[in-house]
């Protein structure tokens, strides 16, 4: 089963929810994990089953990075806010590095997130 992580900066959480609703039928077949607040919002807005890690400021992004290092994840959708990200929000640089080391797909915007899902679907 495909295992996918979902993360979003505060200003991008609504975009991630809209994305999850748009692709809910596809994502329903995946094993999903998310950082705490993002996961809570997704659970409230969709019928998806999502394993919640800690919130980003409490290390949830590092927990997801650990799964990449253990080759447990097929990809990450991390909708980041490149203009107004707050200091308490997850930093993408560590996740980017670990994804590059382990050749794990990482989408940082809606366009690349769509391509990521299409690519996973083509490979599966």
The catalytic site residues sit at 61
7-24 burial code (b ≥16 CB/10 A, e <16) = bbbeebbebbbebbeebe
Judge residue 118's burial from the number of C-beta atoms within 10 Å of its C-beta, 0-12 exposed, 13-18 middle, 19 or more buried: exposed
Task: Please indicate if the annotation marks 35 as binding a ligand.
Answer: yes
Task: Please indicate if the annotation marks 54 as binding a ligand.
Answer: no
Task: Please indicate if the annotation marks 60 as binding a ligand.
Answer: no
Most distant CA pair in the chain: distance in Å? 37
Task: Please indicate if the annotation marks 88 as binding a ligand.
Answer: yes
Task: Please indicate if the annotation marks 108 as binding a ligand.
Answer: no
- Residue 43 to residue 47: CA distance in whole angstroms: 7
Q: Which residues are annotated as a binding site for substrate?
A: 9, 13, 35-38, 55-56, 88
Annotated binding site: 9, 13, 35-38, 55-56, 88
């Amino acid at each position: 089963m495909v295992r996918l992580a979902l993360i979003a900066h505060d200003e991008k959480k609504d975009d991630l929810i809209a994305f999850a609703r748009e692709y809910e039928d596809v994502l329903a077949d995946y094993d999903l994990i998310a950082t705490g607040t993002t996961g809570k919002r997704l659970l409230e807005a969709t019928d998806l089953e999502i394993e919640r890690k800690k919130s980003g400021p409490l290390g949830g992004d590092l927990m997801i990075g650990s799964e990449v290092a253990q080759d447990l994840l097929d990809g990450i959708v991390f909708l980041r806010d490149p203009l107004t990200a707050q200091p308490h929000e997850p930093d993408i640089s560590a996740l980017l590095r670990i994804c590059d080391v382990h050749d794990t797909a990482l989408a940082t915007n809606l366009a690349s997130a769509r391509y990521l899902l299409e690519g996973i679907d083509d490979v599966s």
